């Protein structure tokens, strides 16, 4: 059984909007025993929408669309699909009355444009949208199952969970794939794969995903016997133990936060080059307040002087150490970290672009690590955050 997503929206192709619906749908389907087979993104152009819909219908059993069913003139996904399938649009008077009542409850009159949101393809099933006025729509056309869903993630995701997943569970068998993950740090993808190939089972379904210094290894544990799989995982541990970040499919920041909680440690941060991105990564997870005491973004020379209550060293190795030590004393944290460096594209100091200094301090020890990173400004900033997380994890494990 093949499932496809058709994402409609010129804003996605222009880069104005990130298609989070794709990742959300993939995760929801996988967690419920199904796999998203393919995805296409198209602009708000009727001919292209029709062409790609026809392609997906010929190759998939279930097609899920997102976007283009709002009240404005560039919203015509429903109309294009209905025309392609030869279905008339019929006004749902109950839904129209409900929409009008929502506007009236705010003391407003519903614009005429919104009426088209209450039009449904004949023979379709209306799916209740609990977070918006455009209902989801289900159409069975010659045993091809089409779900027309709104684009905003807060509307799309609940409809997938409440309507699409129950439908799939009732009408299709779940996949027998069951993935496990291992996250590595400080490894080159090609070198890692070359070493793993030396003991990888022939039939193991395996894949690599590299991102900002982290390599995620994914493998289907049902593709080989449990005995063979255990041997494979033992070889992984024996060969790469010091480079394994996690055996769970979780962000590196969650690994760090869990380690801080496990060791009952608090931490304070001083960020310059990373501009608060490390703190942001930590507070994305519940329970961050149990470990994170404070975070300072000190970007200018003047702000660093004020924080230290003294002149600052021109040597960034020394400066990062002083910032980390001061933060630890100021906030009485168990550990503190300071991150300095050049992200570019034009250097603001005598240091090279990508030259990063990370200092970690406790009551008894201070350690500074220098990294030389490559890439764009965003790459350097994001990799600096991941390097800081990795350096902290190694530091804490040595305590």
Give the start-to-end residue ranges of the domains of the chain: 3-171, 179-246, 252-398
What number is the average pLDDT over the span 70-82?
A: 94
Note the pLDDT tens digit of each residue in 169-199: 999 999 878 899 999 998 899 999 999 999 9
Round to whole Å and give the CA distance between 331 and 326.
9
* Residues 6+ away with beta carbon under 8 Å from 333: 266, 267, 268, 293, 294, 327
pTM: 0.80
pLDDT, residue 177, reads 81
Binning pLDDT at 50, 70 and 90, where does residue 121 land?
A: very high
Round to whole Å and give the CA distance between 336 and 339.
10
Please state, for a pLDDT cut of 70, what percent of the chain lies above it.
Answer: 100
Round to whole Å and give the CA distance between 60 and 57.
5
What number is the average pLDDT over the span 374-381?
A: 95
Please state, for a pLDDT cut of 90, what percent of the chain lies above it.
Answer: 95
pLDDT, residue 331, reads 98
Note the pLDDT tens digit of each residue in 88-106: 999 999 999 999 999 999 9
Q: Domain spanning 179-246: which superfamily?
A: ACT domain (3.30.70.260)
What number is the average pLDDT over the span 239-243?
A: 94
Binning pLDDT at 50, 70 and 90, where does residue 231 land?
A: very high
Token representation of residue 327 = 């933060």
As beta bridge partners, residue 62 has: 3, 145
Residues 278 and 294: beta-carbon distance below 8 Å: no
Cα-Cα-Cα-Cα torsion 250, 256, 262, 266, nearest 10 degrees, comes to -140
What is the layout of strands, in order, in the sheet containing 179-185? 206-211, 214-220, 179-185, 244-246
From residue 303, alpha-carbon distances to 293, 300, 306 in Å are 20, 5, 5
CATH code for 252-398?
Answer: 3.90.950.20
Note the pLDDT tens digit of each residue in 304-361: 999 999 999 999 999 999 999 999 999 999 999 999 999 999 888 999 999 999 999 9
- Stated length of the chain: 399
Class of domain 3-171: alpha beta
Note the pLDDT tens digit of each residue in 37-74: 999 999 999 999 999 999 999 999 999 999 999 999 89
Residues 133 and 102: beta-carbon distance below 8 Å: yes
């Amino acid at each position: 059984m093949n499932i496809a997503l058709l994402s409609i929206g010129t804003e996605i192709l222009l880069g104005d909007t990130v298609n989070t619906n794709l990742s959300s749908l993939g995760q929801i389907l996988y967690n419920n025993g199904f796999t998203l087979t393919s995805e296409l993104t198209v602009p708000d152009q009727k001919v292209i929408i029709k062409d790609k819909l026809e392609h997906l219908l010929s190759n998939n059993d279930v097609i899920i669309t997102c976007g283009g069913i709002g009240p404005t003139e560039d919203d015509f996904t429903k109309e294009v699909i209905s025309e392609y399938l030869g279905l008339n649009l019929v006004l749902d008077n109950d839904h129209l009355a409900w929409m009008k009542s929502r506007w009236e409850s705010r003391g407003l009159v519903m614009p005429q444009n919104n009426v088209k949101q209450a039009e449904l393809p004949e023979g379709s099933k209306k799916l209740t949208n609990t977070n918006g006025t455009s209902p989801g729509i289900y159409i069975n056309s010659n045993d091809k199952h089409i779900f027309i869903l709104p684009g905003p993630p807060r509307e799309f995701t609940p409809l997938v969970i409440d309507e699409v997943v129950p439908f799939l569970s009732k009408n299709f068998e779940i996949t027998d794939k069951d993935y496990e993950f291992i996250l590595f740090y400080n490894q080159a993808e090609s070198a890692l794969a070359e070493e793993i190939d030396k003991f990888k089972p022939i039939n193991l379904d395996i894949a690599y995903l590299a991102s900002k210094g982290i390599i995620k290894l994914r493998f289907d544990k049902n593709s080989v016997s449990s005995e063979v799989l255990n041997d494979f995982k033992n070889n992984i541990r024996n060969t790469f133990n010091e480079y394994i970040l996690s055996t769970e499919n979780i962000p590196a920041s969650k690994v760090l936060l869990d380690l801080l909680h496990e060791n009952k440690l608090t931490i304070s941060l001083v960020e310059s080059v990373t501009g608060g991105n490390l703190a942001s990564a930590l507070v994305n997870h519940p329970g961050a307040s149990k470990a994170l005491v404070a975070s300072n973004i000190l970007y200018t020379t003047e702000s660093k002087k004020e924080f230290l209550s003294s002149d600052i060293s021109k040597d960034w190795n020394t400066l990062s150490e002083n910032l980390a030590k001061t933060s630890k004393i100021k906030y009485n944290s168990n550990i503190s970290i300071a991150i300095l460096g050049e992200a570019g594209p034009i250097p603001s100091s005598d240091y090279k672009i990508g030259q990063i200094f990370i200092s970690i301090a406790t009551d008894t020890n201070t350690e500074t690590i220098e990294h030389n990173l490559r890439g764009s400004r965003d790459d350097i900033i994001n990799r600096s955050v991941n390097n800081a997380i990795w350096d902290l994890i190694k530091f804490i494990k040595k305590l």
